[in-house]
Structure 1
């Protein structure tokens, strides 16, 4: 977090490895005033102009007592915004208790917004699934299917058409909130695409920076399956199917494969069709209304 936000370490350099386990930051205004019920002690504590100005107005004895009472709970760290100075009293307590005291020139609102988003992502529950994650025209898609079905080859075709790879083989899914699933790579496979008979390919080196992005919101789960003869594939099915990951439901589509099918084109079509549905238009419902006009 110190490197991410370029924070100045005022005190507690030796304690920068203290774990942060909660995703939302907290402003301890009530706690400095003496109210400790519901104090979220595991959260990063942010001190803005209100908190620092309040502490400056106290007598030396009152300030020492109020700060000591808050520091006693050992939160992960304190971050002072607006590059405020006159922090000698905070510095002394933080050094004594081994708690990092950090400072940033950002405004309180700006820092809290950025820190909340960053911590929510870093501390989000996550799982790893076998598949390929791509971003098609701004729409995040998880491609799944049995090994050898053609997921990576489909991703390659999509990349050549101007879309982006996010992760190949090992896709990390992060649950940002009850409705949002983020797809990313595990770090090791970043920018790599594994192709049978060809080997590993670095898509950035081959196709340029625009062929890759670090993460994307997953809004479609597409499963590639083998075509079965005499199987009825009802393409006008109105009922949406879903796959669930960590409690987040994602629209699910199956694409049967057979020689000659443009699988990448079907993935593109599914992405654009999903976007139209989010805008309130359903081609299937429109078609059914034409069949049965009122």
Structure 2
């Protein structure tokens, strides 16, 4: 998991610093933010003090309408808990009192460079934080996006993962990561696959060397991250070890507590592995839509038997 500070947020979201310039090193540990409301009227039982506090037009307008003494008390009660920072999405005019409180309590106070919809800002901020603060796991393999579906390709070294990815790129699909795949758990059901920065855009092919897929094939050949939907293991061909059933129970791999449907594809000279992966992806899409080719085939057999 990456470390992120208030200063990082100020740079990424182009926020203006109004107070607490010397305390921008404060770490951010929570992906959710908070809009204080009940806290302004004295209810602190469930106040998430470790979250970023966002003040929109609604909160700022309320504070402006208070008397000097009442406003001092309301804000003083909140800053007493020392949240990591305050971010204002409303007009800067009239915020002198808030600057004073944040300066006294050594809390960074930031503001968007122009007023914007608070709900939209929070959505963007939480999406960014969820990604950056997500639990991570690095695994050996290749990650590609095939027809909009994120795929993990795993297998022993030299089995042909990178070569298969190269063939898929030639068919219009996208590389996400080669050799080291960084998995991020951004929700209880969602794993994102991405690269580790050092290998970004690179694909290593035996006998050829290192390729930069963007330089060779254009930006369409690369994608920063993708939601992992299938885990495909490439294995060597084993005679009499093929599953020829009409259908079989879905197998799963598990990463950080999230189950991902998994299949095994055996390799043999002349076998179109990239084509099989495309078929697996499209079949997975149909299953998600409620269609099963095996069920339809069995139904046809039953109808024929009844004749």
| Secondary structure of 2:169 counterpart | helix
Once residues 255 and 85 of structure 1 are traced to their aligned partners in structure 2, the CA distance between those partners, rounded to angstroms, is 63
What corresponds to 1:59 in structure 2? 67
Q: Establish whether residue 176 from structure 1 lines up as the match of residue 186 from structure 2.
A: yes
Deviation at 1:235, TM superposition (A): 5.0
Q: Establish whether residue 226 from structure 1 lines up as the match of residue 231 from structure 2.
A: no
Q: Establish whether residue 283 from structure 1 lines up as the match of residue 293 from structure 2.
A: yes
Aligned-residue CA RMSD (Å): 1.3
Once residues 160 and 39 of structure 2 are traced to their aligned partners in structure 1, the CA distance between those partners, rounded to angstroms, is 57
TM-score (ref. length: structure 2): 0.93
What corresponds to 1:139 in structure 2? 149
Q: Tell me which of 63, 75, 81 is aligned to 2:89.
A: 81
What corresponds to 1:237 in structure 2? 247
Q: Tell me which of 25, 43, 50 is aligned to 2:51.
A: 43
Deviation at 1:145, TM superposition (A): 0.5
Greater alpha carbon shift after TM alignment, 217-226 vs 111-120: 111-120
Once residues 172 and 33 of structure 2 are traced to their aligned partners in structure 1, the CA distance between those partners, rounded to angstroms, is 39
What corresponds to 1:249 in structure 2? 259
Contact 2:55 2:90 in 1 (8 A): no
Contact 1:238 1:285 in 2 (8 A): no
CA distance change for structure 1 residues 271 and 21 in 2, over 3 Å: closer, same or farther?
A: same
Q: Tell me which of 26, 30, 36 is aligned to 1:22.
A: 30
Runs of 4+ in 1 over 3 A off after TM superposition: none
Contact 1:80 1:103 in 2 (8 A): yes
CA distance change for structure 1 residues 283 and 133 in 2, over 3 Å: closer, same or farther?
A: same
Query: How many matched pairs?
Result: 294
Once residues 84 and 11 of structure 1 are traced to their aligned partners in structure 2, the CA distance between those partners, rounded to angstroms, is 12
Q: Any gaps of 5 or more consecutive residues in structure 2?
A: 1-8
Greater alpha carbon shift after TM alignment, 209-218 vs 83-92: 83-92
Contact 1:83 1:106 in 2 (8 A): no
Q: Establish whether residue 99 from structure 1 lines up as the match of residue 107 from structure 2.
A: yes
